[in-house]
């Protein structure tokens, strides 16, 4: 038996200490007396917390939007790096009729096709009215994702 704060604790077979049943009843009655004045405040707090539940869904929407924004920024950064190291040689100097990023007139018809179609053409290569695009931009090492990111970058700065 151990006495702590005027309460007797008994050691069980598992080695844990427990209050005697009489002490436990007294302890609960004392707790009721000390909690009772704060019960209305506690219930109001619970009510206010319960009413905050609707905002949680909007937080999830904001998180999903912000994660989309982060993904788009990563794609733009990757696309810019690929463009500068592989695509700018032709696209910045209008070689073989390559559209210059940022020139809205060059991109007007292409933008109507959509990014997926333009990415597919840059991967497979094609001959257009103004010029030609070699498969993978002439760099067979580039992955489909890298080419798509470069197209995404050029489209975003051309809109």
Distance CA(74)–CA(80), nearest Å, equals 10
In terms of Cα–Cα distance, which of 134, 154, 156 is closest to 84?
Answer: 154
- pLDDT value of residue 13: 47
8 phi and psi, to 5 degrees? -95, 130
Read off the pTM: 0.58
Distance CA(7)–CA(23), nearest Å, equals 6
Residues in the chain, pLDDT under 50: 2, 13, 17
Q: What is the pLDDT of residues 65-82, one digit of tens each?
A: 777 888 888 888 988 998
Task: Check if the beta carbon of residue 47 is closer than 8 Å to that of residue 32.
Answer: no
Tokens of 113: 């096709």
- pLDDT value of residue 57: 55
Tokens of 146: 């890298």
Sheet holding 17-19, edge to edge: 2-4, 7-11, 17-19
- pLDDT value of residue 14: 52
| Assigned architecture for domain 65-158 | Orthogonal Bundle (1.10)
Domain boundaries, the chain: 2-51, 65-158
């Amino acid at each position: 038996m151990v006495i702590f704060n005027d309460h007797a604790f008994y050691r069980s077979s598992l080695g844990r200490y427990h209050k005697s049943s009489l002490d436990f009843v007294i302890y609960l009655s004392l707790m009721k007396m000390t909690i009772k004045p704060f019960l209305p405040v506690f219930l109001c707090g619970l009510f206010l917390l319960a009413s905050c539940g609707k905002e949680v869904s909007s937080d999830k929407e904001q998180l999903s939007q912000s994660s989309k924004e982060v993904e788009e920024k990563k794609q733009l950064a990757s696309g810019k790096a690929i463009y500068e190291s592989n695509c700018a040689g032709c696209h910045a100097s209008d070689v073989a009729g390559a559209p210059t990023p940022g020139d809205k007139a060059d991109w007007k018809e292409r933008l109507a096709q959509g990014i997926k179609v333009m990415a597919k053409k840059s991967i497979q290569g094609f001959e257009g009215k103004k010029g030609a695009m070699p498969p993978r931009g002439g760099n067979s090492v580039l992955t489909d994702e890298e080419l798509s990111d470069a197209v995404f970058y050029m489209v975003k700065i051309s809109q």
